[in-house]
Chain A
Amino acid sequence: MKWRRSFPLHLLVLPSVLFVLIFQYIPMGGIVIAFQDYKPWLGIRHSAWVGWENFEYIFTYPDSKQVIVNTLIIAFFKIVAGMIVPFTFALLLNEIRLVIFKRSVQTLVYLPHFLSWVILGGILTDILSINNGLVNQFVSWLGFEQIPFLQDGSWFRFTVILSDIWKEFGFSTIIYLAALTAINPSLYEAAETDGAGRWKQTIHITIPSILPIAALVGTLALGNILNAGFDQIMNLYNPLVYNKGDIIDTFVYRQGILGSQFSFSTAFGLFKSVISMTLIVVFYRLAYKYANYRLF
């Protein structure tokens, strides 16, 4: 009786299950082409199996090592800066007592998070361009040589990391601001009674209170060590900076979709995903164990 009554309700999960199965799991099954020499006209069933050949190819293909290194470097600096900057910013903002000022800064900082990299990429390309770009006109007015922000590999990395922080840190700050509101005010009152100044209060109360959140955010961010930002790089890079700016995702896109090397690029993507997923699982476990963090 009970079963009959609630049966149609269980069915309501079905559409979601189907969606996820079709668009996430079936393509995952398509990953088998990483072990094949996939030819579109033969399909998965008739293409030849080649074992680990594609994966071996990843490590012998001259460009791929560089691509992995690029990804690691760019992602690493993004993660580190992505931890330090919002943390510091939240602390600074916390010390401002002028409510209007605080509110407007708070509102403003995460505006860039909403803009797509296509638009920001367009703006950055123009602002940083080498002949007439806004920044370079200023640089040459100061009497320095123009800086090839998007034409030289090392400068490109710098630009990518800096612009990513510019775009995202305001949004990350929200978490810290929320954590700051949770600090018990009586702690500050007690400290004040004991004669601790604002600086001492910051060092001994504010920072220790939000450090666990910071550690947690950092731990979880480490799972992104192979995500260096497809949209961003895609909209900023050019063949001049492939040597230092090309990352796994853009490489896979160029080889796979544009170059029709389906098997090789899928193998590369799979290689990346396996490492990422392992890291995510490991770091979630760590976060759970040490910070008692649970997503669900």
Chain B
Amino acid sequence: MELTTAASRKKEGRGWAWKGLSGFGKLLLTAYAVLTLYPLYWLFISAFKTNEDFFRHPYALPHVWMKENISRAWELGKMGRAMMNSTLVTVAAVILTLLLGILAGYVLSRFEFKLKKLVMGLFLVGLLIPIHSTLVPLFLMMKKIGLLDTYGALILPYTAFELPITIFLAIGFMASIPREIEEAAMIDGSGWWRIFGRIIFPLCTPIVATISILAFLRFWNDFSFALVFINSQSLKTLPLSLSLFSDGFGTDYSLTMGAMAIAVIPTIIIYLILQDQIMKGMVAGSIKG
């Protein structure tokens, strides 16, 4: 998205000093853009090099394009499994978060009931609870109820920790939807469910997008919960198996690079698809909830 700023103001009245400064600014920004992209570019070229090539010519393109690095990393690192785990956990947690969060947000923004203040307070404090301080007690609790080392060990806490912010975003958004729409629908004889399904939910698309993006990012990239709650190889998510990858194949750089290149691709694709939405969502969601 392009933010049209007031900089589209008139171009007159700039002297040579300003031109110089502007040129310098452009240079600086270009340098930065290169700096942002270079590590990724380097990762992708390194992923196709032999170990020797990697050390000898770190800046150059690969002498021989070693496509088997990628397939070897995929197999040895059990990347397919990890990617499936990550996808499963992320998708399940995002859906659960959305479902529960939007419904709760709807109820809290539309109805008055006795315990409403208490419920709101509960979520507010939930928003402030720092994740890492309850990590050890959470670990002990999960161990006790046998949840440790299952998909649930990730899906459920992810959802729980994402719910408060989701609910407040949803409440904030739904408060801006005029009640008259619902009243009109009610007069026409629609029940609450119909109103929610046909009117409220479709109107909520922007906030649903924002919530999904935020949640996706959090879950897909999460490292600490996976590190603490998951142990078996077959359940490891992408970040976790990747971090352990370098322990096992630490000296085999081409293999490590191959694995990282594989892991980075889904994120980049999602980024490219959603970057428009993200910018809008952040602008709307970050300052005012």
Residue numbers of A with Cβ under 8 A of B are 6, 9-10, 12-13, 15-17, 19-31, 33, 40, 89, 92-99, 101-112, 114-127, 132-134, 137, 166, 170-171, 174-175, 177-178, 180-181, 183-185, 187-189, 192, 195, 197-199, 201, 206, 213, 227, 230-231, 234-235, 249, 252-253, 256-257, 262, 265-266, 269-270, 272-273, 276-277, 280-281, 295-296
Number of A-B contacts (CB under 8 A): 296
Q: Are B137 and A28 in contact (CB under 8 A)?
A: yes
> Which chain B residue has the least Cβ–Cβ distance from A179?
B287
Number of interface residues of B (CB under 8 A): 107
Interface residues of B: mostly helix, strand, loop or mixed? helix
* B242 / chain A contacts, CB cutoff of 8 Å: 118-119, 122
Fill in one digit per residue for B254-289: 1 if any A CB lies within 8 Å of its CB, else 0. Answer: 001100100110011011000100110011001101
* B270 / chain A contacts, CB cutoff of 8 Å: 114
Q: Are B246 and A122 in contact (CB under 8 A)?
A: yes
Known: A27-B134, A119-B242, A127-B39. A107 touches B107 (CB 8 A): no
Known: A16-B163, A27-B138. A253 touches B228 (CB 8 A): yes
| B88 at the binding interface (Cβ < 8 Å) | no
Q: Are B138 and A23 in contact (CB under 8 A)?
A: yes
Bound together, the chains give a CA A198 to CA B13 distance in angstroms of: 7
Q: Are A265 and B260 in contact (CB under 8 A)?
A: no
Interface residues of A: mostly helix, strand, loop or mixed? helix
**26 A-B interface contacts by CB (under 8 A):** A17-B104, A23-B156, A28-B129, A30-B137, A33-B140, A92-B29, A93-B29, A96-B25, A108-B36, A114-B270, A115-B221, A116-B220, A118-B223, A119-B267, A122-B246, A122-B260, A175-B283, A178-B3, A180-B6, A180-B7, A181-B6, A188-B9, A198-B13, A206-B6, A230-B132, A273-B130
> Which of A118, A127, A206, A230 has the most CB atoms of chain B within a 10 A radius of its CB?
A118
CB distance from A77 to the nearest CB of B (A): 19
- Give residues 7-43 of B contacting A (CB, 8 Å): 7-15, 17-18, 21-22, 25-26, 28-30, 32-33, 35-37, 39-40, 42-43
Q: Are A277 and B128 in contact (CB under 8 A)?
A: yes
Other-chain residue from A114, A125, A265, A269 in contact with B217 (beta carbon distance below 8 A):
A114
Known: A106-B3, A112-B36. A197 touches B264 (CB 8 A): no
Q: Are A198 and B271 in contact (CB under 8 A)?
A: no
Q: Are B286 and A175 in contact (CB under 8 A)?
A: yes
* B123 / chain A contacts, CB cutoff of 8 Å: 16, 20
Q: Are B8 and A181 in contact (CB under 8 A)?
A: no
* B192 / chain A contacts, CB cutoff of 8 Å: 6, 9
Other-chain residue from B29, B243, B279 in contact with A105 (beta carbon distance below 8 A):
B29
Bound together, the chains give a CA A126 to CA B261 distance in angstroms of: 14
> Which chain B residue has the least Cβ–Cβ distance from A124?
B39
Residue numbers of B with Cβ under 8 A of A are 2-15, 17-18, 21-22, 25-26, 28-30, 32-33, 35-37, 39-40, 42-43, 46, 54-55, 58-59, 100-101, 103-104, 106-108, 111, 113, 119, 122-124, 126, 128-130, 132-141, 143, 156-157, 159-161, 163-164, 167-168, 171-172, 192, 217, 220-221, 223-224, 227-228, 239-240, 242-243, 246, 253, 256-257, 260, 263-264, 267-268, 270-271, 275, 278-279, 282-283, 286-287, 289
Q: Are A123 and B42 in contact (CB under 8 A)?
A: yes
* A206 / chain B contacts, CB cutoff of 8 Å: 6
Q: Are B228 and A197 in contact (CB under 8 A)?
A: no
Bound together, the chains give a CA A94 to CA B289 distance in angstroms of: 26
Other-chain residue from B141, B159, B243, B287 in contact with A118 (beta carbon distance below 8 A):
B243
* A199 / chain B contacts, CB cutoff of 8 Å: 17-18, 21
* A109 / chain B contacts, CB cutoff of 8 Å: 32-33, 36
Known: A109-B32, A109-B36, A197-B15. A24 touches B160 (CB 8 A): yes
